[in-house]
């Protein structure tokens, strides 16, 4: 085994950088959207850029796509300027679009975008992969929110690009579409493609990414594998209506904070199962129980507080 | 790098133009307004007013001026409203992030304006020859067709410039506030000579006035001013609009 590994390590060069931001700064007027952000994408990697709205995720993607120029620092893709036509044929992008021309059919959009690339994927392949079978002859205006997103995904991959940018790809998708898209991202990675996706769902980043870059207010605040990131954002939230008082709750195992709002008690806790078991035993009248993983905003609090 | 690094150009440009045309043709509000209005106005004011077989009839005059009214509409709305929407609501960025060459995008919009102008002219000519009893020679038809096609350029440039300043939601309203008064004041709806005197004096400030005078001169009506003067005015207007469009585009690019 050792020899095999050594051999492959020798024959395959160390993971190649396909794109990077180096010290990239970008301001909109007085608002600094990105502040000296450095970010590297290596070949075959799925990287999740995770952050709340307004964190600078979309700006980072736009710099890498050459849609915006950095005020300072550098954006490089395949060793070149992302604005070069030859570079762009190796890139696909799914961006957040408020409005798409509505009177073209799915099939026509595919035909159009395939014509932009030298070696596009076959239409049947794109239709199957993006889950567009049966709706090829529908106008864009007749698609559901999830179908629109899937078409935008299809346009991103139709040129068989080596590097795919997905900006909030699952926004507005139902669970089935979302999981379908996750599978497509995994398939892209399996075919050696590099993917950068932005999301504000911790779960999405966790499920897809080899590496997560957490970004907030224009700076990178954490970076690592999903396991490394999650270890810094432990704890879940218990929400319920209970007569138990705060002092008692505070003594339950793993409880980190308690908040009572409009009669609802919110408990943040490391060992949710144990705490809930005890709470139910202590208060038989407890009701409206909900348990949730930390919202990203909470995760940020945890991440920024830890530093 | 061993094979093609970019897509073949011709099919790309052709498809870009084809789908720009198709999507506007299918957008009913656009086709109803840009094709429907000139045709309806022509039926109401041109065909109804046609008396016998005069050579220089009102229906012949209005056939030319409503064709111009139509080309201005489809150039302004087809370019401004679509471009303003696409710039401000994200679609243009999707295309810019793709390897689509920018000239293909602009050429598609220009060719689409040509196509709609041709459709409108074809309809008005058919109505004029049949219901409007218009007498027109082959040379005059050719003159008029060339004027219509050439006239797309200044108004497409104007559409491009306006797309840089008008916000997408307000675009149709703002464009109508320019388009309709300009059409009236430059004699597209009724001859300049029947307008109030001060409007007649001011008429040369409107690019539509110069285009309509070229068109009318080409089909046997008396032209106010000279052909060279009108062409110079339209060329100057086109250069001004394109220049402004470039300046505004750069200003917007640095502002964002």
In the predicted structure, residue B130 carries a pLDDT above the cut 60: yes
Strand-strand pairing, A31-42 and A17-28: antiparallel
- Closest by Cα among B62, B76, B93 to B153: B76
Mean pLDDT score, B207-218 = 96
| Mean pLDDT along residues A226-249 | 81
Contact of A141 with chain B, judged by CB distance below 8 Å, is answered with no
Within-domain flag for A5: no
Residue A287 pairs in a beta bridge with A241
CA distance A201 to chain B (A): 23
Q: What is the pLDDT of residue A12?
A: 43
- What is the number of other CB atoms lying within 10 angstroms of the CB of residue B154? 25
Residue-wise pLDDT for A90-141, tens only, equals 999 999 998 899 999 999 999 999 999 999 999 999 999 999 999 999 999 9
- Indicate whether A6 belongs to any domain: no
Residue carrying the six token digits 């040129």:
A159
Report the domain count for chain A: 2
pLDDT-based confidence at residue A299 (cuts at 50, 70, 90): low
In this complex, do B5 and A89 lie within 8 Å of one another by their Cβ atoms?
A: yes
pLDDT of residue A59: 94
Q: Tell me what pLDDT residue A251 has.
A: 87
CATH for A282 = 3.30.70
Domain for residue A7, yes or no?
Answer: no
Determine the structural domain holding residue A142 and report its residue range: 16-231
Do A213 and A264 reside in the same domain of the chain?
A: no
Domain boundary among A186, A202, A231: A231
Q: Considering only CA atoms, which of A138, A139, A199, A209 is closest in space to residue A172?
A: A199
> Using a CB-CB distance cutoff of 8 angstroms, which residues of chain A are in contact with residue B98?
88, 92-93, 113, 116, 155, 159
Q: Is A2 part of a structural domain of the chain?
A: no
Q: What is the distance between the alpha carbons of residues A65 and B234, in angstroms, rounded to a whole number?
A: 39
Q: Are residues A197 and A301 in the same domain?
A: no
How does residue A177 score in pLDDT terms, banded at 50, 70 and 90?
A: confident
Tell me, yes or no, whether A294 lies in a domain: yes
Q: What is the pLDDT of residue A10?
A: 39
Of B8, B85, B96, the CB nearest to A99: B85
pLDDT value for B54: 72
Same domain, residue pair A77 and A96 = yes
Give the residue, A186 or A269, on which the prediction is more confident: A186
Please identify, among A231, A264, A289, the residue that sits at the C-terminal boundary of a domain: A231
Position A1 in a domain: no
The verdict on A94 and A218 lying in the same domain is: yes
Question: What is the predicted pLDDT for the residue at A6?
Answer: 40
User: Does A172 lie in the same domain as A271?
Assistant: no
Rg value, chain A, Cα = 23
Residues A82 and A161 in one domain: yes
Among A59-73, A231-245, B191-205, B220-234, which stretch is predicted with the lowest mean pLDDT? A231-245
Question: B87-129 pLDDT, tens per residue?
Answer: 988 999 999 999 999 999 999 999 999 999 999 999 999 999 9
A206 and A246 in one domain? Answer: no
Asked if residues B166 and B80 have their Cβ atoms less than 8 Å apart, the reply is: yes
Over residues A115-129, the pLDDT tens digits come to 999 999 999 999 999
Q: Specify the DSSP class assigned to residue B13.
A: H
In this prediction, residue A95 carries a pLDDT of 95
Q: Of B2-16, B86-100, B230-244, which range is least confident? A: B2-16
How does DSSP classify residue A142?
G
CB B99 to CB A88 under 8 A? yes
Helix intervals (H) in A115-245: 123-130, 145-157, 175-190, 202-208, 226-231
- Cβ distance of B27 and A112 shorter than 8 Å: no
Of A179, A206, A231, the position where a domain reaches its end is: A231
A242 and A181 in a single domain? The answer is: no
Q: Are residues A101 and A183 in the same domain?
A: yes
Decide if A123 touches B, using CB distance below 8 A. no
Inside any domain, residue A197 = yes
| Residue B97 in contact with partner chain A when CB distance is under 8 A | yes
Residue-wise over B69-95: b if at least 16 C-beta within 10 A, else e? bbbbbbbbbbbbbbbbbbbbeebbbbb
Enter the tokens of residue A213: 């870059």
Which CATH number covers residue A50? 3.40.50.300
Is A102 a domain residue? yes
Q: Does the structure show a pLDDT above 50 at A204? A: yes
Expressed in angstroms, the distance from the first to the final Cα of chain B is 34
Mutate to test the interface with B, among A103, A109, A123 (most CBs of B within 10 A): A103
Q: What percent of chain A has pLDDT over 90?
A: 55
Residues A214 and A252 in one domain: no
Is the ipTM, as predicted for this complex, more than 0.85?
Answer: yes
Distance between CA atoms of B217 and B212, rounded to whole angstroms?
8
| Same domain membership, residue A107 and residue A205 | yes
Is pLDDT of A3 > 50?
no
Alpha-carbon gap, residue A175 to A173, rounded angstroms: 6
More confident residue, A224 or B21: B21
Judge if A32 and A59 occupy the same domain. yes
């Amino acid at each position: 085994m050792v020899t095999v590994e050594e051999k492959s390590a020798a024959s395959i060069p160390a993971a190649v950088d396909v794109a990077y931001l180096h010290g990239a700064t970008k301001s909109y007027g007085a608002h600094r959207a990105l502040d000296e952000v450095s970010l590297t994408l290596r070949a075959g990697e799925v990287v999740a850029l995770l952050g709340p709205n307004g964190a600078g995720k979309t700006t980072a993607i736009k710099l890498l796509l050459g849609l915006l120029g950095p005020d300072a620092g550098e954006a490089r893709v395949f060793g070149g300027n992302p604005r070069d036509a030859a570079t762009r044929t190796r890139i696909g992008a799914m961006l957040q679009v408020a409005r798409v021309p509505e009177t073209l059919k799915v099939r026509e959009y595919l035909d159009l975008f395939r014509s932009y690339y030298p070696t596009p994927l076959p239409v049947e392949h794109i239709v199957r992969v993006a889950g567009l079978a049966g709706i090829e002859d529908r106008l864009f205006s007749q698609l559901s929110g999830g179908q629109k997103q899937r078409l935008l995904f299809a346009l991103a991959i139709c040129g068989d690009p080596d590097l795919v940018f997905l900006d909030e790809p699952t926004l507005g998708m139902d669970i089935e579409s979302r999981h379908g898209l996750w599978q497509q991202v995994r398939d892209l990675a399996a075919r050696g493609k590099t993917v950068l996706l932005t999301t504000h769902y911790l779960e999405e980043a966790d499920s897809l990414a080899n590496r997560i870059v957490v970004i907030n207010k224009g700076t990178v605040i954490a970076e690592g594998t999903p396991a490394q990131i999650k270890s810094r954002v432990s704890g879940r939230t218990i929400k319920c209506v209970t007569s138990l008082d705060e002092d008692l709750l505070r003594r339950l195992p793993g409880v980190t904070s308690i908040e009572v709002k409009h009669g609802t008690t919110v408990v943040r806790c490391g060992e949710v199962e144990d705490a809930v078991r005890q709470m139910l035993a202590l208060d038989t009248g407890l009701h409206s129980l909900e348990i949730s993983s930390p919202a990203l905003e909470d995760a940020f609090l945890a991440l920024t507080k830890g530093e | 790098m061993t094979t093609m690094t970019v897509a073949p150009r011709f099919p790309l440009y052709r498809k870009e133009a084809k789908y720009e045309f198709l999507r506007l043709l299918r957008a009913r509000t656009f086709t109803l307004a840009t094709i429907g209005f000139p045709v309806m106005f022509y039926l109401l004011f041109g065909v109804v007013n046609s008396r016998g077989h005069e050579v220089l009839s009102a229906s012949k005059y209005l056939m030319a001026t409503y064709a111009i009214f139509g080309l201005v509409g489809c150039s302004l709305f087809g370019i401004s409203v679509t471009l303003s929407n696409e710039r401000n609501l994200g679609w243009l960025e999707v295309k810019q992030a793709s390897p689509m060459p920018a000239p293909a995008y602009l050429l598609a919009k220009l060719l689409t304006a040509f196509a709609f102008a041709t459709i409108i002219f074809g309809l008005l000519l058919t109505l004029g020859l049949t219901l409007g009893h218009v007498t027109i020679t082959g040379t005059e038809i050719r003159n008029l067709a060339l004027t219509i096609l050439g006239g797309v350029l200044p108004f497409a440039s104007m559409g491009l410039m306006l797309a840089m300043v008008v916000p997408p939601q307000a675009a149709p309203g703002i464009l109508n506030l320019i388009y309709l008064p300009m059409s009236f004041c430059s004699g597209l709806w009724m001859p300049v000579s029947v307008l109030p005197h001060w409007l007649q004096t001011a008429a040369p400030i409107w690019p539509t006035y110069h285009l309509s005078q070229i068109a009318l001169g080409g089909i046997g009506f008396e032209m106010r001013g000279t052909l060279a003067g009108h062409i110079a005015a339209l060329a100057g207007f086109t250069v001004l609009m394109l220049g402004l469009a470039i300046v505004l585009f750069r200003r917007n690019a640095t502002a964002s």
